[in-house]
Amino acid sequence: MAPTKAPDSSRRSDRSRRAIHDAALALVTEVGYRRTTIEGIAARAGVGKQTIYRWWPSKAAVLMDAFLDLAGRSAEGAGSGGEAQSDEAAQGIPDTGDLVADLKLVLRATVDELNDPVLEAPTRALTAEGIVDAKLGAEFVHRLLDPQLALYVTRLRAAQEAGDVRAGVDPRIALELLIGPLMHRWLLRTLPLTHAYADEIVDYAVGGLAPRP
């Protein structure tokens, strides 16, 4: 029942962990996920293969951790850098009382993130992997997506209380009305993903969610 030998994480080399993260992200960006290999990551990180296999079960798991680390570091950098906070992940969705404006702000930020060339390759890789591998997909959703979506739920509940959204609407469905079209366009590359598109989606969705006259 017990795993064959749990490594002692207190003795883990932080230096190696970071090097592996960096190498993984760099390789995925440079050569793509498919051609990124564990051997390649190890070589680039100046690390033995076993050090990777000791701490991660798969290439996707390495990338997931690396990506979360990256997200964490960039959030931290943003947090310490300035007082004006646009990072919705850490701060939540603003509530100025104007639901449409607030959502447009957030969706535009999401569009910018999805279009960020540094984030694109790993995000696509992890998403694709999660689509095929249910276990990994669940982890992806739980660690990356859910925290973000929870912010929408919060804001939408507030909107319901304020009377901007009908009482009967399930926020988890409402949120998908906003996020779904964005992801669809980004994943399938059907048409360019722009701020204008985000705005339009918000307009239509909020229109559909608003109380009936």
Partner DNA sequence: GAGTAAGCGAGACGGTACGTCGTGTCTTATC
Partner DNA sequence: GATAAGACACGACGTACCGTCTCGCTTACTC
Site for DNA in 44-103 (CB under 7 A): 46-51, 53-55, 58-59
| Segment contacting its own copies by CB under 8 A, of 15-23, 86-94, 95-103, 198-206 | 198-206
By CB under 8 A, residue 20 contacts its own copies:
no
| Segment contacting DNA by CB under 7 A, of 39-47, 83-91, 166-174, 195-203 | 39-47
DSSP 9: G
Whether 113 contacts 172, CB under 8 Å: no
CA distance linking residue 208 with residue 197, whole number of Å: 17
| Buried-state track 101-127, b at ≥16 Cβ within 10 A, e below 16 | ebbbbbbbbbbebbeeeebebbbbbbb
Give how far the C-alpha of residue 142 lies from the chain's centroid of Cα atoms, to the nearest Å: 10
By CB under 8 A, residue 137 contacts its own copies:
yes
Chain residues in the site for its own copies (CB under 8 A) = 32-34, 124-125, 127-134, 137-138, 140-141, 145, 149, 169-170, 172-174, 176-177, 179-185, 187-191, 197, 200-201, 203-210, 213
